[in-house]
Amino acid sequence: MLYRNFAKPFFFKMDPEAAHHLVIGGLQKSAALPGGKASLRMMYGVPESPELAVDLFGLHFHTPVGLAAGLDKNAQAVGGFSSIGFGFMEVGTVTPKGQPGNEQPRLFRLPSDEALINRMGFNNEGADSMANRLKKAGRRSIPVAVNIGKNKTTPNEDAHEDYRKCIRTLYPYGDFFVVNISSPNTPDLRSLQHGSELSRLLTEVKEEMEIQRGKSGAKKSILVKIAPDVSASELEYMVNTIAEAGVDGIIATNTTISRNGLSHERASETGGLSGKPLRDRSTEIISAIYRQTRGQLPIIGSGGIFTPQDAYDKIKAGASLVEIYTALIYEGPEVNRRLHAGLRNLLRRDGFRHISEAVGADVQ
């Protein structure tokens, strides 16, 4: 209520990117105050609920709802986001070298569609800067995934080197890693999802993960985040290649380039569309992956989750965890308590004692 009635009208009058910086800065400062994290937890935290806790990738997730990549691109507000009811968060997408991203404006609200369009283009301060931030932040209360990408100026033939550099720099500081080859805003990035480019990239990435594991002694998981704009046969090939490469899981999905069913005048802006219009397509992709892998490859569901039912549909389609971005912009941090309480009720209603029993329950 606090967010929808007071903060949202204020933020929604501002330029979307300026509002974004204000939120990140505010969270960063609040968490740094004495007692700041405890106050955030009191206002927005979720209760411990054993039926919603997930153990996966050798990590403990106290609740299955996480923060998706792209909001905290530079890992500036990890303490803040960890205290407002998320079970995990992604930072990034980070690239080896810092880069400015695309020209502004590059983020658009489409309130009548409960959606956003962005063409940010991996604006970030680079892997070294993120490593320093995560090092300084010290111990964390939730798992933090580092989402990695390639610089805009790196040709696709050399993309694997960029992903390897990010892993080399950030391995000690991430709890798990996400290979982002699905952003529509870096020219040609999505072609890394197909054909021999995908198997080569994943072989290189896995090799680097093994090297870093050997050096540090700590085994960490690597996931691949995929786009929703693929045909059934492309998806089948991608999932096969990902599974064969020994990757630990899939995040489905990133934003879409489709513009189906939009009413807002901003609908024709170039970029990736997130929020409600993406919801059903990403759930379909989750089902297809779960069916193809017979539930053997963990899936994190992303795309258009606003309500407990939206999250539950993705879990029943095969997601072990889910994550949100656009709902946080439209609903504020209160959304986490609603999702948490609602998921608990939905599990109970359907006679599931634990969330793991619901994973894939809708897939024949």
Tell the smallest beta-carbon distance from residue 186 to ligand FMN (Å): 10
Distance CA 311, CA 302 (A): 9
Q: Which position among 182, 183, 282, 287 bears the catalytic label?
A: 183
223 is in an annotated binding site: no
Of 4-12, 128-136, 208-216, 323-331, which segment contacts ligand FMN by CB under 6 A? Answer: 323-331
Q: Does 102 bind ligand FMN (CB under 6 A)?
A: no
Compare residues 37 and 325 and give the one whose CB is closer to ligand FMN.
Answer: 325
Q: What burial class does residue 291 get, using C-beta atoms within 10 Å of its C-beta: 0-12 exposed, 13-18 middle, 19+ buried? A: middle
Residues 266-295 that bind ligand FMN (CB under 6 A): 274-275, 278
Is residue 153 marked as binding?
Answer: no
Whether 263 is a known active-site residue: answer: no
Three-class SS state of 55: strand
Residue from 19, 127, 324, 355 binding ligand FMN (CB under 6 A): 324
DSSP result, 219-279: --EEEEEE-S---HHHHHHHHHHHHHTT--EEEE---BS--TT--SGGGGSSSEEEEGGGH
Q: Is 283 annotated as a binding residue?
A: no
Measured N-to-C along each axis, helices 36-44 and 16-32 cross at an angle, to the nearest 10 degrees, of 120
Residues 108-167 that bind ligand FMN (CB under 6 A): 116, 118, 120, 122, 147
Nearer to ligand FMN, 120 or 358 (CB): 120
- Rule CB under 6 A: choose which of 289, 305, 343, 347 binds ligand FMN: 305
Cα distances from 286 to residues 8, 251, 324, 327, 338, in angstroms, run 31, 9, 15, 19, 23
Longest Cα–Cα distance in the chain:
54
Cβ proximity of 340 and 65 under 8 Å: yes
Just list the catalytic residues: 183
Please give the residue ranges that form the binding site for ligand FMN (CB under 6 A).
Answer: 68-70, 73, 93, 107, 116, 118, 120, 122, 147, 180, 183, 225, 254-255, 274-275, 278, 302-305, 324-327
